[in-house]
Amino acid sequence: MLLFTIYFITAATALSLVKAIIGPTIWDRLLALNLISAKTVMLLTAYSVYMGNLRLLDISIAYVVVGFLGVTLLSSYILRGGRQK
């Protein structure tokens, strides 16, 4: 069952990647990048439980922080006008 979960999250991440590439607006692409970040954390956590290696949980916690900061910085950059100023 856990292996099915890992495959399902991987497929959902691939669909989010497609949305990030062909998103009609920059906000759709940013949302897709946020989803990819969250799904990567879920994938790392499920894989950690599957393999019995709890060290991957530390990596997933660090990835949560990096993903949050990345999305926050990108959204503030976009709101300020990006390179157009």
Q: How far apart are CA 63 and CA 67, in angstroms?
A: 6
Q: What's the average model confidence in pLDDT over 43-66? A: 93
Q: pTM, whole model, 2 decimals?
A: 0.85
**pLDDT tens digit sequence for 14-23:** 999 999 999 8
The answer to whether 54 and 48 have CB atoms below 8 angstroms apart is yes
Q: How far apart are CA 38 and CA 60, in angstroms?
A: 10
What is the domain extent for residue 67?
2-84
> What's the domain count of the chain?
1
Q: What is the pLDDT of residue 83?
A: 73
CA dihedral 32, 34, 36, 59 (to 10 degrees): 170
Q: What is the pLDDT of residue 81?
A: 85
Q: What's the average model confidence in pLDDT over 34-62? A: 94
